[in-house]
Chains A and B, each alone.
Chain A
Amino acid sequence: MKPKPTKANVALTIIVAACLAVAVFVGIQGIITAGAPGAADEAARKKAFEKAMAEGNLSLEEAKYWHPLEPAAERETPK
C-alpha cells in the first residue's frame, strides 16, 4: 500500500521546486544579460579597438579582397 505523503514531505517538495525555478530564472537572465557565447571576448576586442583608434594615428578605410562568412562556415584562423 502506497504511503500517504506527510506534511513535511510536501513542504520539502515545494521548497525544492521553488529553488529549481529560481535557478532556471536566474540562469536565463544571466544569458540574456551577457549575450551570446563569446560576447565578453567581442566586448574586450571592441574596447581595445576603440582605444587604438583614439590613441593611434590610424585610418579606417574599407579593405579590398575579403568576404563575409555564413555563421555555419566559420572556422578558426590558422596559426
Chain B
Amino acid sequence: MTAPAVECELCPRRCVLANYQRGDCRVRVHVDGTLYTLVYGKPCTAHVDPIEKKPLFHFLPGTAIYSIATAGCNLHCKYCQNWEISQTDPEDARNVDLEPARVVAEAERAGCVSIAYTYSEPTIFYEYTLEASRLGRRRGLKNVLVTAGYVEPAPLRELCKVSDAANVDLKSISDKFYQDVCGGRLEPVLKALKIYREEGVWLEVTNLVVPGLNDAPSGITALVRWVRDNLGAETPLHFSRFYPMYKLANLPPTPVATLTMARNIALEEGLKYPYVGNVPGHPGNNTYCPGCGQAVVERQGYMILAYRLDGNKCAKCGATVAGVWAPPPGDMRWVF
C-alpha cells in the first residue's frame, strides 16, 4: 500500500508530495511517509568571499566570509545569476561532503569570522543551514543568510534565532513580476522581511534592476517607500546591476544611469543608505554619513579604500551610522 501524501511546510509553495515525489525545490523528497532533504551536508559550492560580495555593507565590513550553497531553489527567476546551481537537480551537481561541523572548522581555518548561506537559496537547505548556524554560533562565528525570503514564518523565526545578518532579495514590489518572472508571490517575501526586522537580525535589501521589467521609476519609488515605511529609513538598499543571464540573456545590462536614478529616488524618499551594486567605482558604492555627508566607508567594488568610522560613529561629526561595525581582525579590511 502506498504511503499517504505529505505536505512540506517550509516555504509558501506548500508542496503536497506523493510517495517518491520531490518538491518544487528539487531537494526535498517524500519517501514512504517521511519527508527528507537530499542535500544535508552536501554543498555544491564552498568559497571564501569578501562580505561585501553578499552584499552586506554595514555588517563587519572588510571581513572574509565562508560561503556555502547546495543545488536547488524554490524560485525560478528567469534572470537568475546562479542558475547553473539553483535550477539543477542535486544529483547533477558536483557535491562535496561537508558536514555542519566541518563547515565551521573550514570557516575558522580560513580565518573567516562568519558563514554565509548563499548563492542558491538557504531556505531549501534549511536543516543544513540551521545546524551549521548553531554550531558556528557556539564557536563565536556569525551567520549570514543571503536569501529571496520565500519562506514560511515558523521556520524563518526558528532560523532567525541563530542568524546575525541577512541580505534579502526584494525582486520587485509587484506581485505580477514575482508570478511572471520568478514563479512565486510577493506577499510572503514582504512578510519575511518584517520578520527579520522583528527578530533583530541585521537586514540589508537588494533589488536587482532588470531593464524593461522592474526599472520603472514608479515601481522603484513604491519599493523604496515600502522599505522605508516597513523596515526603516536606515535599512541599506542595494540597487544591483543585471547582466544578461539564463532565460533573459537577450536583455542588455542595466544602464548605469538607471541605477543612479534608482539610488536618487531612494535618497529623495529619505533612505539613508542606498547603494549601487555591480558597478565598481560608482559613488553609490560608498557609505555616507547621514549627519555630515562624509564618505565614511569608501569602496571600489568589494574593496574598501578608506574607513572613517570610530566604532559606529562618523569619525568627522560623531553621528551614528547604523550597522554592526565591530573592527575586523587584523587588517583584513584592506585585503580584497
Contact = CB atoms under 8 A, between A and B. Distances in A.
Interface of A: 35-36, 38-39, 41-42, 45-46, 48-49, 52-53, 55-71, 74-78
B8 A65 contact: yes
A74 B19 CA distance: 12
Interface residues of B, number: 48
A70 B10 CA distance: 19
Interface string B13-51: 111111111001000110101111111111000000000
B154 interface: yes
Contacts of A66: 6-10, 28, 35
Contacts of B13: 77-78
A55 B95 CA distance: 12
B6 A77 contact: no
A61 B37 contact: yes
A49 B201 CA distance: 38
Given A56-B91, A58-B39, A64 B20 contact: no
Contacts of B37: 59, 61-63
Contacts of B35: 62-63, 66
A38 B18 CA distance: 10
A67 to B, nearest CB: 6
Contacts of B97: 57
A67 B6 contact: yes
A22 to B, nearest CB: 29
Contacts of B95: 56-58
A63 B22 CA distance: 12
A49 B20 contact: yes
B199 interface: no
20 contacts: A36-B1, A36-B2, A42-B18, A49-B31, A52-B38, A52-B91, A55-B91, A56-B38, A58-B95, A59-B39, A59-B40, A62-B35, A63-B8, A63-B28, A63-B127, A67-B6, A68-B5, A68-B7, A71-B5, A76-B16
Contacts of B17: 77
B15 to A, nearest CB: 5
Interface in B98-150: 126-127, 130
A64 B42 contact: no
B5 to A, nearest CB: 5
Contacts of B15: 77
Which 8 pairs show the lowest CB-CB distances between chains A and B?
Answer: A56-B91, A45-B20, A61-B40, A66-B35, A52-B91, A57-B95, A65-B9, A63-B35
Given A52-B89, A59-B42, A77-B24, A65 B152 contact: yes
